[in-house]
Structure 1
Amino acid sequence: MSPETSPETPRLTTHVLDTAHGRPAAGVAVGLWRLAEGGREEVARTVTNADGRCDAPLLAGAALRPGSYELIFAVGAYFASVGDPGAGDFLDEVPVRFVVRPGLGHYHVPLLIAPYSYSTYRGS
């Protein structure tokens, strides 16, 4: 395991679970922005793998700075891609805003999705 991904290294990870179909949500586009008073800066973009996870942390080490962040998950496109007619008619993109505090280590922000609802929490 490299220093960038050791358990002690501060990092931000996510995964997406499709609760309507009872499986990981593969192929969900995920964008990450750092928020500031002057606007926002895109800092990462990825797509979930077959396990509904990203292949690497979105941010790790010194790149995970304290501050406000926003994850945006393209769930409408995901539901269209799995052939769920009409499922993308309600949710298109799901934004999740959160704050990273100094010294709190690993931030895991999972997203549980269904065609008409979603849930998130700070995972481990």
Structure 2
Amino acid sequence: MTAMNSQAQLFTTLAQTQVRLTKNMDRKLSAHGISLSEFLVLHQLSDTPEQVMSRVALAEAIGLTASGVTRLLNPMEKNHLVEKEKNSRDARVSLVKLTETGQTIYQEALVSFNHSAEMVAQGLTSSQVNQLIGLFGKLK
């Protein structure tokens, strides 16, 4: 039987950590009626000019497929967090716009998100946090 090399152990540890952190953040954000994936959509839209993105760009930004982001956006549209917007230059491009309700929910959820993120990193110095950010950015 072949043992895992250190890179495989790193991958396994990262995957397990990601699952644990996602579950924890989903629980915290559920108080605002959204999941972590929905929060990431709201964050991306809130962070763009005019709070509008194409579905394809949004999917790329949050790490989902185009069909995955469409499935995620459908209930968000029903809950008035986002809305479809027509692209005046190309009718084939589907745009997503953050609504006023979505912006309000995002701002409220951001407080919980920031607090939870602080709790996750409470045992680390700001230098260690920055070092981790740099190291994770190098992973392919």
Q: TM-score range by the shorter chain?
A: under 0.3
What TM-score, normalized by structure 2, do the two folds share? 0.23
Bigger helix share: 2
Using CA pairs below 8 Å that are at least 6 residues apart, which structure has the higher relative contact order?
1
What TM-score, normalized by structure 1, do the two folds share? 0.25
